[in-house]
Structure 1
Amino acid sequence: MEEFFKKYKIELEKEELEKFEKFLEIFKQKNSQINLSAIRDDNGIIEKHFVDSVMLNIFLDFLEIENPKVADLGTGGGFPLIPLAIVNPEVNFVGIDSVGKKLKAIDEFVEELELKNVKTLNGRAEEIGQNL
């Protein structure tokens, strides 16, 4: 897995890499039960979901906001939400989706990966935005 990240000049800490390896396994298991993604092979999941998600860090770094909060609207299977949360433990993330079973899966991922910086909200973004 590490070689995929290095290919794009992304350096991961040992703990981050371990979380990605664990996430790969629990994601594949859950994806076989409910359709979180059409991508099912390890290399595809790593490159198209994990690496692509982490590449968005460029924008988080660029913003230079103190105590940033990031919303992933229509988070679906948890991308880019979970990968970004793994590599940015100091950032608070919220995943918003109207499909409850997908959010339940994300909540399970968050618990398994011990991510303290992720919350989920069930509903449509335009409705939730009115109540924030």
Structure 2
Amino acid sequence: MKKLALIFFAIFLSAPLSAVLFVGADHLLTEPVEVLGYNYNPPIWVTILVVALYEIPIYIFLGIPVTYLIDFLILKFSPHSHRLKQYLYQLIGYSIAALILSGYLIHDDYDFTLFIPVLTYFHILWFLRGRFGD
């Protein structure tokens, strides 16, 4: 039960943080949309709020099973590995999950901005597991 509570805590911490990073990167890398000379972009804080609320169910329905799958695979194939080795294995696992999700959502091309929410969740979960144990 402690593991699931830690995952939920990581989800609710990483959703707003990854939304800030994701929307901030998007805001810096794209130009404003203009329709008939009017700037059509909503305020950035509204976009961050909408993205964060949109990410929470995705984290819950996709993030929790992926977390358990990656933990299971690491425990099965490398049960007594050092913490740095586990970090690298999990980083590779979450990167593969982000790549698969990106390929599934965008069929023709990969969108590497999806790595922002996935790796934000991974690093917050990694920090929480190191701080509070697993």
TM-score (norm 1): 0.38
- The higher radius of gyration belongs to 2
- Larger strand fraction of residues: 1
- Give the TM-score taking structure 2 as reference length: 0.38
From the two aligned structures, give the one with the greater helix fraction.
2
